[in-house]
Amino acid sequence: MSIDISDIASKDRNSVLHPFTHLKDFATGAMGDPTIVETGKGIRIQDARGNQLIDGFAGLYCVNIGYGRTEVAEAIARQAYRLAYYHSYAAHTTDQLAILSDRLVRMAPGKMSKVFYGMSGSDANETNAKLVWYYNNLRGKPTKKTIISRERGYHGCSVISGSMTGMSFYHDHMDLPLPQVVHTGAPHHYWGAEAGETETEFSARRAAELDRLIEKIGPDNVGAFIAEPVLGTGGITPPPEGYWAAAQAVLKKHDVLLIADEVITGFGRTGSMFGSLHYGIEPDLITVAKGLTSAYFPLSASIVGEKVYRVLEDGADRVGAFSHGYTYSGHPIGAAAANAVLDIVEKEDLPGNAREVGAYFQAQLKERFAQLPIVGEVRGVGLMGAIEFVADRDRKKRFDASQKVGARISKAARDRGLIARAMPHGDILGFSPPLVVTRGEVDEILSIAESAVRSVMDELA
């Protein structure tokens, strides 16, 4: 199908309110025309002008099985022909939904019991907040409501999930965060540690801060702690040694629920099926989205642990029906897409590929970039990684924001045919390729990235 590119571009400019876009620069054309993405295959996408780009970020860390998987398209079509929609309220279901839920409960780490469905990571975190409040109301602890999240955490953009997000530029001018959410320090050793502080010492300090924060708010007022196993949008930062054991001990001591936000780490990205398995995390609630359908259909889930669910079921005689749900909760096409995607994840052992090719990717990332004079840190796990750029390595001094170093490097990569994301918190180039990526493709990605980094480094010299 051929399209009229300038007609589509002008319709788009006139009528789409694009997320995370400088509205004036887009409206005036200063940002150029929108990229009209037409097709995708494997790790590549193609725009309407025929330009191919390697997608080193799997969309937004989500197209884990790669583009153009016809098995999933066929599963979606089959379900759409058979039954495009029915709701899951008041004990209605579909075979695909029941099969998917049984599968998720068995796959998920810890003792999980039930699955509630939404359409996005943000709404799943919204659901998890409500579940925490509902759970504590039903067990007679109506003040135990504050949710603690971390600076640099990213949990979405809705009102509560946006409040959980721990970066001020997601709050500014939007009247967030709400007072129900309080933030604690990020487990980010590179920027957070004191001189000479080991990872283990730093983790213990962060856990002690969390303990003090809970004591200050009052343990009877703190309902849950939400965290990504690996900080994602806040800079792609694996936890420092000992962090999760130390943090979980504090939560247990104060009877605070743990919500593991596995929206990025779920279904293989770290090299384990879930980030929680990778780091020994025992969550009470788990948030998944993105990789659940590899973004072939919008679907998210809150996976509810037995401890929480038991209280909800036991309370039903007193409070009546569970009054929460969306028209599209458990959408049959989403469930069919997820089942087809999970078949691929399991059959092709994508967590295994993330482990093996991921180890190569991490080693190459270090080898090519760690010694460059503008690189402060190279970090990552499995198939997620980042390069952090600094003006002065020895003094850990950032570049002036006006130099836009991260954005320039990302653009230089893009001009060379690679999408690698300028992460929003500092000068960071992020990678999160589809989990089907091969070693050869890793070489391609990192060769282009190296050329881009060196070109901007030369400009800065």
Task: List residues binding ligand PLP (CB under 6 A).
Answer: 60, 120-122, 125, 154-156, 228, 232-233, 261, 263-264, 289
Residue nearest to ligand PLP (CB): 121
Least distance in Å: CB of 408 to ligand PLP?
Answer: 23
Least distance in Å: CB of 170 to ligand PLP?
Answer: 11
Cβ closest to ligand PLP, residue 211 vs residue 261 = 261
Least distance in Å: CB of 196 to ligand PLP?
Answer: 31
DSSP designation for 327: T
Cβ closest to ligand PLP, residue 226 vs residue 456 = 226
Cβ closest to ligand PLP, residue 86 vs residue 169 = 169
Least distance in Å: CB of 132 to ligand PLP?
Answer: 16
Cα dihedral 281, 285, 287, 293 sign: positive
Least distance in Å: CB of 186 to ligand PLP?
Answer: 14
Least distance in Å: CB of 297 to ligand PLP?
Answer: 12
Cβ closest to ligand PLP, residue 55 vs residue 261 = 261
Whether the CB-CB separation of 205 and 137 falls below 8 Å is answered with no
349: left (phi over 0), alpha (psi -120 to 50) or beta: left
Exposure string (b/e) for 82-98, b if CB count within 10 Å is 16 or more? eeeeebbeeeeebebbe
Whether the CB-CB separation of 163 and 181 falls below 8 Å is answered with yes
Least distance in Å: CB of 246 to ligand PLP?
Answer: 21
Q: Which one-letter amino acid corresponds to residue 420?
A: A
Cβ closest to ligand PLP, residue 290 vs residue 408 = 290
Least distance in Å: CB of 10 to ligand PLP?
Answer: 28
Cβ closest to ligand PLP, residue 100 vs residue 264 = 264
Least distance in Å: CB of 85 to ligand PLP?
Answer: 21
Q: What are phi and psi of 15, to 5 degrees?
A: -135, -10
Three-class SS state of 352: helix
450 forms beta bridges with none
Cβ closest to ligand PLP, residue 159 vs residue 359 = 159
Sheet strands side by side (includes 421-423): 375-381, 384-389, 428-431, 421-423
Least distance in Å: CB of 89 to ligand PLP?
Answer: 23
Cα–Cα dist 326/247, whole Å: 33
Least distance in Å: CB of 69 to ligand PLP?
Answer: 20
Instruction: Please choose, from the candidates 164, 185, 181, the residue with its C-alpha nearest in 3D space to the C-alpha of residue 221.
Output: 181
For the chain, how big is the Rg over CA atoms in Å? 22
Angle at 347 (CA atoms; ends 302, 435), nearest 5 degrees? 70
Cα–Cα dist 294/64, whole Å: 5
Token match 């039954």: residue? Answer: 83
Go through the chain and tell me how many residues it has.
461
Cβ closest to ligand PLP, residue 96 vs residue 233 = 233
Asked if residue 177 has a cis previous peptide bond (ω within 30° of 0), the answer is: yes
Cβ closest to ligand PLP, residue 231 vs residue 436 = 231
277 forms beta bridges with none
Q: What are phi and psi of 386, to 5 degrees?
A: -150, 150
Sheet strands side by side (includes 285-288): 112-118, 300-305, 285-288, 257-261, 222-227, 146-150, 181-184
Cβ closest to ligand PLP, residue 374 vs residue 419 = 419
Cβ closest to ligand PLP, residue 329 vs residue 364 = 329
